[in-house]
Chains A and B, each alone.
Chain A
Amino acid sequence: MIDPIFLAEAAINGILLGGILALLALGLNLIFGVIEVVWIVYVDLVMLCMYAMYFLYQVQGWPFWAAGVVSLGLGALLGIAVHLLVISPILMSPPINQLLATGGLLFFIQSFATFLWTTDHRSLRFSLPSFEVGGIFLPATRLIPFGISVLAMLALYLFLTRTYMGTAIRAVAQDRDAMSLMGASPQRVYVVTSAVGGMMAGLAGALLVFQYSVHPFFGGQFGPLTFMICVLGGLGNMVGAFVASFVMSEIISIAGVIWSTEMGYVIAFLVFIVMMFLRPGGILARRE
């Protein structure tokens, strides 16, 4: 029998991991919900931003916040570039072509990163304290990314619900033509959406370096998981993706403590497959 304190710690770690996963899933899902294109390359953009963090913070010795701001801006620029250079020219093509195009970009980025930076794992060094609460250890390297993720998601929520552009982004996701009749250029809304989605990737990159080392194939570590969370939550459904992030992170974290980390992923993917049979539209899909 496992000590309940370990289970409690695993549950808390699950929540902390869920925060970052939710950030990734919301960024990817926002783009899908509005432009109806799945950016298979999404976590590889995160990887590029992690390299930016590595070179600026670790190599150049910039303060962390300044490197983070650059990472955010780089993410936004990469988002805009992906939209304008890859998606926009084939916006009217069948979805499979768009998927393959972003998939091609994924291999291009991975190969180019390997060429530039080799397959070495690079990590950032932090000297941050851990806190102990009732026998549970809470390292700052997990608390800080979680806290910032929550703030970022709150900011995204306020942007999408309180501003004209944010509301227009949700409106375009529902009816593109009707929104152009309101005077919004669909292309402009798409560019803003891609920039916001890219910014979330940039922020995720700046936060993931607290716990993970960066290498050209980092995308393989989080890409499939992020994509799965979006499908589990219902593609395009932001609340669903948010909930699904925590469901998956808890499964990974708790099963990881009971058995092993690998088993945690096996069970998470198994739950995903079963859920696809039970609720193909996502966990929060309305039964109408």
Chain B
Amino acid sequence: MLELRNVTAGYGAFTALWDVSLSVRAGEAVAVVGPNGAGKTTLLRVVSGLVPPRSGELELEGTRLTGRQAHEIVARGIAHVPEGRRIFPALTVADNLKMGAFLPAARRRFAESLARVYDLFPVLAERWGQRAGSLSGGEQQMLAIGRALMSRPKLILLDEPSMGLAPVLVLRLFDLIQRVREEGYTILVVEQNVRQVLKIVDRAYLLEVGRIKMEGRATELSEEDFVRKAYVGL
């Protein structure tokens, strides 16, 4: 479904990704793990169009995405749940979800999408009229994911969903991501929490200083080896 071929990208004089190739098949959940500063966030920002690649190719279902801007890429079916959640703090929960359905195609199916999101995250239905900034960290993460689902995406990009959450919540969150998966969405997730994320994905890539160092099925990969590499970088 998603294909990255030899993508190089960065900011100014700094290169964050070197020659990265990666693929995600329809219905699959794929993780990208690696230490801090490995380029994981940049990788997702390239896919969603926030960072233009310097070279390389980007394809979704055979359609070239290279050079497209972020708002055009959403319309092709990629929803990005950014690092730090980036919900709209001064808008209500309901308005945040409404913004998720900003695209005309998503607007037409607003009621249906909303029912699905509320079913998946009942706490959002309880708090619909509250300012999003007043939610707890876990609730904000659910809102960020719910907002992404409102655009009726084919592929969801999750950037460090467990960041800043208490350990108990991290487990609950991964359960929820698992449920989102079962709804039939394709997922590309970036995580520091390697042990947890390997339990919910089919395949994983190890990214280190901007390069893919390892790749394989989650069940086959030696977890210890992967964890050691991801954290220590050895």
Contacts and interface: CB of A to CB of B under 8 A. Distances in A.
State whether these chains interact: yes
A184 B75 CA distance: 10
Contact of A177 (B79, B86, B95, B99): B86
Of A167, A175, A183, A186, most buried by chain B (CB within 10 Å of CB) is A183
A171 interface: yes
Interface range on chain B: under 10, 10 to 19, 20 to 34, or 35 or more?
20 to 34
B16 interface: no
B105 to A, nearest CB: 9
Given A177-B50, A177-B70, A177-B82, A182 B100 contact: yes
B69 interface: yes
A268 interface: no
B86 A183 contact: no
Interface string A167-190: 110110011011111111110000
A171 B86 CA distance: 11
Contact of A185 (B71, B80, B90): B71
Given A167-B95, A181-B48, A182-B99, A175 B88 contact: yes
A277 interface: no
Interface range on chain A: under 10, 10 to 19, 20 to 34, or 35 or more?
10 to 19
Nearest to B78: A181
Nearest to A188: B71
B179 to A, nearest CB: 22
A251 B50 CA distance: 48
Contacts of A184: 71, 99, 102
Contacts of A164: 98-99, 102, 107
Contact of A183 (B90, B91, B98, B151): B151
B142 interface: no
Nearest to B74: A183
B89 interface: yes
B200 interface: no
Contact of A182 (B50, B69, B74, B90): B74
B103 interface: yes
A32 to B, nearest CB: 16
B88 A183 contact: no
A164 B98 CA distance: 7
Of A164, A168, A178, A182, most buried by chain B (CB within 10 Å of CB) is A182
A227 B92 CA distance: 29
B99 A171 contact: yes
Contacts of B80: 181
Interface in B87-122: 87-91, 95, 98-100, 102-103, 106-107
Contacts of A177: 50, 70, 82, 86
B90 A170 contact: yes
A168 B151 CA distance: 14
Given A181-B48, A181-B82, A170 B100 contact: no
A185 B70 CA distance: 8
A183 B95 CA distance: 15
A167 B92 CA distance: 10
Contacts of A179: 88, 99, 102
A183 B75 CA distance: 6
Interface string A184-208: 1110000000000000000000000
A182 B98 CA distance: 10
Closest 10 CB pairs of A and B: A183-B74, A178-B86, A183-B103, A180-B70, A182-B102, A185-B71, A171-B88, A174-B88, A180-B71, A181-B80
Interface of A: 164, 167-168, 170-171, 174-175, 177-186
Interface of B: 48, 50, 69-71, 74-75, 79-80, 82, 86-91, 95, 98-100, 102-103, 106-107, 147, 151
13 contacts: A164-B99, A171-B99, A174-B88, A175-B88, A178-B82, A179-B99, A179-B102, A180-B71, A181-B50, A181-B79, A181-B86, A183-B75, A183-B103
